[in-house]
Amino acid sequence: MRTTALLCGMALALGASSATAAAADRATQSVESKYAAEAKAMGLSARQAAQLQDRVDAQLADMKIPAEQVKYNEIRTKDGSSSITLPVPGAAADTSCPSEYLCLWDGAYWTGTKHTFWACGYVNLSDLGFNDRLTSYKNNQTTGTVSSFYNWEGSWVYKFGSRAYHTEDSLANTPWNNMIDRVLVC
């Protein structure tokens, strides 16, 4: 009798655990369907949408801080201090940088993956899966605000600064291209 009760309890626990896993799986599928629908509405084919989702998933996996996908091509850190916008296949690059933000790209002349920052403080770019990838930037913060760029060389070494308003540069032909590991936003 005791063995039967124990087995029944185990079966109930397994059933509850399976139900929880199934609910989580349905929620994941629902979110993925939402982003696939957004991508389709933007004119992407199913294949392009799947490839973009794979890149979003890879970016999230490279990140060392809590973040979540908020659009079909956008990730936001849980604290809201920054966002990452992945380029859309076949679309023009998003070269915009909102007022009062610092924006970084991994491509020359504001192309490729874009990182957008608004909160003042040090940002270790490896936490975002972006160390040694900076190739262009726009400092569109409030006038006079300086952002500083650093490289890790056994300690943080200052490389250059950018004074706002609307300072922009492509680092493609400079010694700092694909070198920067840390930014002091503000």
Taking only the tens place, the pLDDT of each residue in 81-119 is: 999 999 998 888 899 999 999 999 999 999 999 999 999
pLDDT: which is higher, 13 or 35 = 35
pLDDT in tens, 72-90: 999 999 999 999 999 998 8
| pLDDT range class, residue 43, cuts 50, 70, 90 | confident
Class of domain 2-185: mainly beta
Percent of the chain exceeding pLDDT 70 equals 82
pLDDT in tens, 138-170: 999 999 999 999 999 999 999 999 999 767 788
> Taking residues 19-27, what's their average pLDDT?
45
At residue 26, the pLDDT reads 43
pLDDT at 165: 78
What was the pLDDT predicted at 21? Answer: 47
> What is the pLDDT at residue 31?
52
Domain boundaries, the chain: 2-185
Question: Per-residue DSSP letters for the chain?
Answer: -HHHHHHHHHHHHHHHHHHHHHHHHHHHHHHHHHHHHHHHHTT--HHHHHHHHHHHHHHHHH-SS-EEEEETTEEEETTSSEEEEPPPTTSPP-----TTEEEEEEETTTEEEEEEE-S-EEEEGGGGT-TT---EEEEESSTT-EEEEEEESSSEEEEEEEESSSEEEE-TTSTTTTT--EEEE-
Q: Which residue has the higher pLDDT, 41 or 71?
A: 71
Q: In sequence order, what are the beta bridge partners of 105?
A: 114, 136
Sorting pLDDT into bands at 50, 70 and 90, what band is 44? confident
- pLDDT at site 27: 44
